[in-house]
């Protein structure tokens, strides 16, 4: 029997049996030497969200996930939260967001930024896809738990936070490289970081991370244009916080270089800024890392789901969602479709923050004011 790797847990509540089973399988996979679980850990395909995995030579795409580079960005608005005190202003902003920040794709193709167009992906088909889907999806939100939210800090200042990733490009890159895998252990496919196929995956991961970052910045630039044209204010770009939570990269831990895979977990090195959102009806936090070695210098990427989307849709009514997010501006026409994003389908963010007090220091607490989700 394979000896399981070392495990660190930072939990807000006991692990569900199916999570324990998934983590045990991961710990026994070839070359996995360390696993850290964040307090928002929950079951997902193959590898749980909220997992941090260290290996010496093997790369596991499933421990990154298909939304490579998914992350958050936050920036202050040059005005206070009274901007959105009335329904007319909120409705105008939401209408503009639907027009300028679509959930799926733009109507016309825009050229990719130089940071992307000047770098080749490892496969001809991926490069072709980048010129098609990559161009029309840059600056789009996506669906599920991806969001663009206006939030108020404790001094009344207004902030924008966006959560999105690499859209269909990340999925295509992952699917392509899973077919190139040269190994499998505990049902998890892997690549060697020392082979051409492994190096190709790592290169494409960096391309997807750049795409995801450019995607978030494009949406924030669209928000900036809306604020300037319709509200006579603008974003304060000097306050930008930007981080991602689905990646693999070479880092030094415990005196050795290891490949750190993060799936729904963000880096939290000493002094490193981070963003931890709650649900659409709960507070979010700006944090800095404490550099906790045992967590592989990582922290949660959010509150983490308590209910699956299926379970949430089965048990949470539209009326219950409206009750849970009372006081929040959002598109009430989408209430039925947003039931699986209800606050009660997520863990309590306050419990999550208490559980990881040794991983991060809170810099700022923010309350949701207006939430835009792609459905």
Per the annotation, binding residues are 67, 145-149, 163, 245, 277-280, 284, 301-304, 373
Q: Cβ distance 286 to 273 under 8 Å?
A: yes
Residue 236 CA to residue 256 CA, distance in Å, equals 40
What is the 3-state composition of the chain as percent helix, strand, coil, each rounded to the nearest 5?
35, 30, 35
Q: Which of 333, 4, 31 is nearest to 193 (CA)?
A: 31
Residue 332 CA to residue 325 CA, distance in Å, equals 11
Is residue 80 packed enough to be buried (19+ CB in 10 Å), middle (13-18) or exposed (0-12)? middle
Q: Which of 297, 198, 224, 252 is nearest to 76 (CA)?
A: 224
Token pair belonging to 196: 């051409």
Q: Which of 240, 300, 242 is nearest to 268 (CA)?
A: 300
Task: Note if 42 is an active site residue.
Answer: no
Is residue 343 packed enough to be buried (19+ CB in 10 Å), middle (13-18) or exposed (0-12)? buried
3 state DSSP class of 26: helix
3 state DSSP class of 146: coil
Q: Cβ distance 370 to 150 under 8 Å?
A: yes
Query: Of 247, 286, 301, 332, which one is the catalytic site residue?
Result: 301
Q: What is the CA radius of gyration of the chain?
A: 20
3 state DSSP class of 47: coil
- For the chain, the residue count is 375
**Binding-site residue set for Mn(2+):** 67, 146, 163, 245
Return phi, psi of residue 357, to 5°: -65, -20
Angle at Cα 42 formed by Cα 212 and Cα 72, nearest 5°?
25
Residues classed as catalytic: 301
């Amino acid at each position: 029997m394979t000896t399981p790797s070392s495990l660190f847990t930072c939990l807000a509540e006991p692990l569900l049996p199916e999570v324990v089973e998934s983590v045990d399988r991961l710990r026994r996979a070839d070359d996995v030497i360390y696993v850290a679980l964040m307090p928002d850990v929950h079951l997902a395909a193959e590898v749980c969200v909220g997992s941090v995995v260290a290996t010496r030579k093997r790369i596991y795409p499933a421990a990154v996930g298909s939304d490579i580079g998914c992350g958050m960005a936050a920036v202050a608005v040059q005005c206070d939260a009274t901007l959105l005190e009335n329904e007319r202003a909120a409705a105008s902003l939401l209408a503009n967001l639907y027009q300028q920040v679509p959930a799926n794709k733009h109507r016309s193709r825009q050229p990719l930024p130089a940071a992307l167009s000047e770098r080749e992906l490892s496969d001809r088909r991926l490069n072709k896809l980048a010129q098609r889907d990559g161009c029309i999806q840059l600056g789009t939100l996506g669906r599920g738990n991806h969001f663009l939210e206006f939030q108020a800090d404790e001094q009344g200042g207004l902030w924008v936070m966006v959560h999105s990733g690499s859209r269909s490009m990340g999925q295509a890159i992952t699917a392509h490289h899973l077919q190139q895998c040269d190994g499998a252990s505990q049902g998890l496919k892997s690549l060697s970081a020392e082979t051409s196929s492994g190096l190709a995956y790592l290169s494409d991961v960096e391309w997807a991370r750049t795409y995801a970052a450019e995607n978030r910045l494009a949406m924030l630039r669209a928000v900036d244009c809306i604020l300037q044209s319709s509200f006579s204010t603008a974003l304060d770009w000097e306050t930008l916080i930007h981080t991602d939570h689905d990646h693999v990269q070479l880092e030094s831990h415990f005196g050795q270089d290891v490949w750190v895979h993060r799936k729904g977990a963000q880096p939290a090195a000493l002094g490193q800024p981070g963003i931890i959102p709650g649900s659409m009806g709960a507070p979010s936090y700006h944090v800095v890392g404490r550099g906790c070695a045992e967590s592989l210098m990582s922290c949660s990427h959010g509150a983490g789901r308590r209910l699956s989307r299926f379970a949430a849709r089965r048990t949470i009514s539209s009326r219950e969602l409206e009750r849970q997010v009372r006081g929040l501006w959002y598109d009430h026409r989408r209430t039925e479709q947003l039931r699986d994003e209800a606050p009660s389908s997520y863990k309590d963010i306050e419990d999550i923050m208490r559980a990881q007090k040794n991983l991060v220091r809170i810099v700022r607490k923010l309350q949701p004011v207006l939430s835009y989700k792609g459905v």
